[in-house]
Amino acid sequence: MTEKIERDLEGIINKSPAVVFLWRNSEGWPVEFVSKNVNQFGYTQDDFYSGKVIYEQIVHPDDLERVAEEVINNSNSDVSNFVQEYRIITKSGDIKWLDDRTWIRRDSKGNITHFQGIVLDITQRKYLEENLKKSEEKYRLISENANDLISVFDEKFNFEYVNENIHKSLMGYNKEDLIGKNGIILIHPDDQNLVLQSFKELINTGEGLVIARIRHKNGKYVWTETKGKTFYDTMGKRKMLLITRDITERKQSTQKLMESEEKYRIAYEHENFYKDLFTHDIKNILQGVLSALELFKLKMKSMNEEIKNQDLFNDIENQISRGSNLIKNVRKFSEFDKFNKKLGKVDLIKTIENAFENVKHYRKEKKINVTYDLFSESTIIYANNLLNDAVENILLNAIIHNENTIVEILIRTTAIKKDHDAFIKIEFIDNGRGIPKYKKELIFERGFNQEKETTGMGLGLSLVKIILKVYKAKICVEDKIPGDYTKGSNFIILFPEVSV
Amino acid sequence: MARLFIVEDNESLRFTYIKALEIYGHEIIGYATNGHDAIMMYKDFSYKPDVILLDHRMPIKNGIDVMKEILEMEKSTKFIFVSADIHIRDEALRLGAISFKEKPFSFEKLHNNIKKALSQKN
């Protein structure tokens, strides 16, 4: 019966993963008994019984010293059993982790005679533990080196984890300042309701986002954006992982942008106000002056009275025309960007002819002779309807700044090559008072007023330059007779040639 | 010459328009100082004007709206806009104005436009 029980027990042991050992308390821990299932490590019972394999030989060399020390320490204490974890080397050379539970056997005098143990292969568990440890280490490393504040909270919004380095550097807090404390105390009073609402939403939906001010340890508030996710810890408890970013700079930029937009809006409103002032009110004033003047002249005529000072009336009319042109040019300047800059093919000569028709009566007291010297009857360039304004301004310039009774304007076109590029060159050569050398570039600048005591040019030539720039054309002015500006001017424009 | 109805809120301009156009030989059958009165007066004309000189920016109702309402009553009405608001030029012409005079303009040119409108009518 006893033998049968022993056989049954041995059968049960051999089918279990636990290997039973009985070691003698001698050098090398010789094995007096080992269960048959030691073969899971590649060894046989005989390997140990014959002394071919001594137990300490299979203990991993790196662990042997520790294992031996623990055995001695436990042997010298009052304990009757102890637990060890260490590695052995299997017969095939693999390494296995063992959980070794050992009972100490003593004789009647208390001397240790044997160690009786059960060892379990825990290699798989050790492997998982090692991987978990590595994984935790990796995430801790990421967390500690992140640029964002990373925190874990319980369901009551209490801090459980913070990446301390970042909390310290960005918010001034140590781990001890936060762990166990409620997060809401750091939130700006005005944002607390919003944050609590977002926290509830996070718990309900598993995700959340909130922008709020958090108090720095120095008392100042920092604008932050926090994203949250819920997860369950190993104990099955729900936790909140929050990643918080300092968005103070972004907030400040947004604020500056809003302020800038407001300034721009106000400036735009002012621009419209002044434009309206020019285009409506001043025009009405000019209309009043002109109408009164004309009415006076009409009445004088109807009364058959000769108007004595015809020149005076003409001057007043001219001044009104100048004012009116100035207003038009201001409007064009202010709206230049809004104009349709789409270019198409335009006949330059026809444009010049039309422009001349518009300006030829500008000085009624003068006779204006325009002659053409054209390399072609039709010259096509890329431009738009603003070309007419540009040409009118150039022609007006030749008419206004001219004391001669007969204004002579020669318009000459030629096809030229310059730096391998083809251009249409057009010259407006007049017999006006001319432009001194130092003024030749200035006259195209905005704000330049040629001679304040006479007929200023307003925005005329600066507008011309801007319009021509759109056509990739260039303008300059030279003397009609080189070296003697007093004989008249030559306004030269180079238009890129249009390939037909 | 033409029978004219002048709609202009600016008193001094209205005065000079009337006096100058009378010298040019036109008959001023009436004038209005705002858009609302212009429409009321037009309805009351038993003999409608040949041409209406119409400002745009006026109290109560602007020139564009005045023109729309009058054209609904009488499609053949001739309007010459006399306005400083150049930005409404295209709209005015599209809706039916026969001419747009941007202020400041000369009476001689306005007179020519009226003559042209009259010839179109006849």
> Quick check: A284 contacting B, CB < 8 Å?
yes
> Hey, where are the domains in chain B?
3-121
Beta bridge partners of A425: A414, A494
pLDDT at residue A109 greater than cutoff 60: yes
pLDDT at position A450 is 46
Residues A255-270 have pLDDT tens digits of: 899 988 888 887 787 7
Residues 6+ apart with CB under 8 A from A490: A427, A428, A429, A430, A477, A478, A479, A480
Q: Say whether A478 sits in a helix, a strand or coil.
A: strand
More confident residue, A233 or B76: B76
Tell me which CATH code domain A2-120 carries. 3.30.450.20
**What is the phi/psi pair of residue A472, to 5°?**
60, 30
Contact B54, B7 (CB under 8 A): yes
Option in B16, B24, B87 nearest A291 (CB): B16
Q: Say whether A114 sits in a helix, a strand or coil.
A: strand
Span A36-45, mean pLDDT? 92
DSSP A314-377: HHHHHHHHHHHHHHHHHHHHHTGGGS----EEEEHHHHHHHHHHHHTTSSTTSEEEEEEE-S-S
Residues A50-78 have pLDDT tens digits of: 989 889 899 999 999 999 999 999 988 88
Residues 6+ apart with CB under 8 A from A251: A223
pLDDT at position A43 is 94
Q: Locate A163 and state its tokens.
A: 């990446």
User: pLDDT tier at A454 (50, 70, 90 boundaries)?
Assistant: very low
Option in B13, B85, B87 nearest A288 (CB): B13
Contact A231, A241 (CB under 8 A): yes
Instruction: Judge: B20–A320 Cβ closer than 8 Å, yes or no.
Output: no
What distance in Å separates the CA atoms of residue A224 and residue A194, rounded to the nearest whole number?
13
Question: Is the torsion defined by CA of B65, B68, B74, B79 positive or negative?
Answer: positive
Tell me which CATH code domain B3-121 carries. 3.40.50.2300
pLDDT at residue A273 greater than cutoff 50: yes
Instruction: Judge: A292–B19 Cβ closer than 8 Å, yes or no.
Output: no
Long-range Cβ pairs for the range A371-376 (8 Å, 24+): A371/A408, A371/A409, A371/A410, A371/A411, A372/A410, A372/A411, A372/A412, A373/A410, A373/A411, A373/A412, A373/A413, A374/A349, A374/A411, A374/A412, A374/A413, A375/A413, A375/A414, A375/A415, A376/A413, A376/A415
What distance in Å separates the CA atoms of residue B10 and residue B12, rounded to the nearest whole number?
6
Chain A positions in Cβ-Cβ contact with residue B89 (cut-off 8 Å): none
pLDDT at residue B121 greater than cutoff 60: no
- Packing angle of the helix pair A310-334, A283-302 (nearest 10 deg): 160
Contact A22, A51 (CB under 8 A): no
> Hey, where are the domains in chain A?
2-120, 146-246, 252-330, 340-496
Instruction: Judge: B12–A281 Cβ closer than 8 Å, yes or no.
Output: no
Domain with residues A146-246, CATH architecture: 2-Layer Sandwich (3.30)
Span A265-278, mean pLDDT? 74
pLDDT at position A448 is 53
Residue type, A441: E
Residues A242-257 have pLDDT tens digits of: 999 999 888 889 889 9
Domain with residues A340-496, CATH architecture: 2-Layer Sandwich (3.30)
Option in A287, A299, A331 nearest B104 (CB): A287
Nearest CA of chain B to the CA of A459: how many Å? 19
b/e sequence A472-486, b meaning 16+ C-beta within 10 Å: ebebebebbeeeebe
Q: Which of B13, B56, B103, B106 to mutate to test the interface with A (most CBs of A within 10 A)?
A: B103
pLDDT at residue A452 greater than cutoff 50: no
pLDDT at residue A335 greater than cutoff 50: yes
* Three-class DSSP labels, B87-104: HHHHHHHHHCCCEEEECC
Residues B51-76 have pLDDT tens digits of: 999 999 988 899 999 999 999 999 99
> Quick check: A326 contacting B, CB < 8 Å?
no
pLDDT at residue A318 greater than cutoff 70: no
Residues A130-183 have pLDDT tens digits of: 888 887 787 777 777 778 889 999 999 999 999 888 888 888 999 899 999 999
Short-list A83, A86, A92, A85, CA closest to A40: A92
pLDDT at position A308 is 53
pLDDT at position A310 is 60
Nearest CA of chain B to the CA of A260: how many Å? 29
Out of A31-40, A162-171, A373-382, B74-83, the most confident range is: B74-83
What distance in Å separates the CA atoms of residue A243 and residue A234, rounded to the nearest whole number?
21
What distance in Å separates the CA atoms of residue A45 and residue A53, rounded to the nearest whole number?
10
What distance in Å separates the CA atoms of residue A200 and residue A206, rounded to the nearest whole number?
10
> What Å distances lie between residue A77 and A83, A299, A373, CA to CA?
14, 137, 124
Question: Is the torsion defined by CA of A328, A332, A338, A344 positive or negative?
Answer: positive
> What Å distances lie between residue A352 and A257, A279, A358, A388, CA to CA?
46, 27, 10, 7
pLDDT at position B5 is 98
- Assess whether the region A2-120 and the region A146-246 belong to the same CATH fold: yes
DSSP B33-81: SSHHHHHHHHHH-SS--SEEEE-SS-SSS-HHHHHHHHHHH-TT-EEEE
Q: Which residue is associated with the tokens 């204004």?
A: A407
User: pLDDT tier at A188 (50, 70, 90 boundaries)?
Assistant: very high
Option in B20, B103, B106 nearest A284 (CB): B103
Residue of A nearest to B104 (CA): A287
Residues 6+ apart with CB under 8 A from B21: B4, B6, B28, B107, B110, B111, B114
Q: What's the whole-number average pLDDT of chain A?
A: 85
Residues A404-439 have pLDDT tens digits of: 989 999 999 999 988 888 999 999 999 999 998 888
Residues A198-231 have pLDDT tens digits of: 999 999 999 999 999 999 999 999 999 999 999 9
pLDDT at residue A340 greater than cutoff 60: no
Q: Which of A278, A279, A284 to mutate to test the interface with B (most CBs of B within 10 A)?
A: A284
The helix or strand, by DSSP H or E, that contains position A416, with its residue range, turns out to be strand A406-418
pLDDT at position A28 is 80
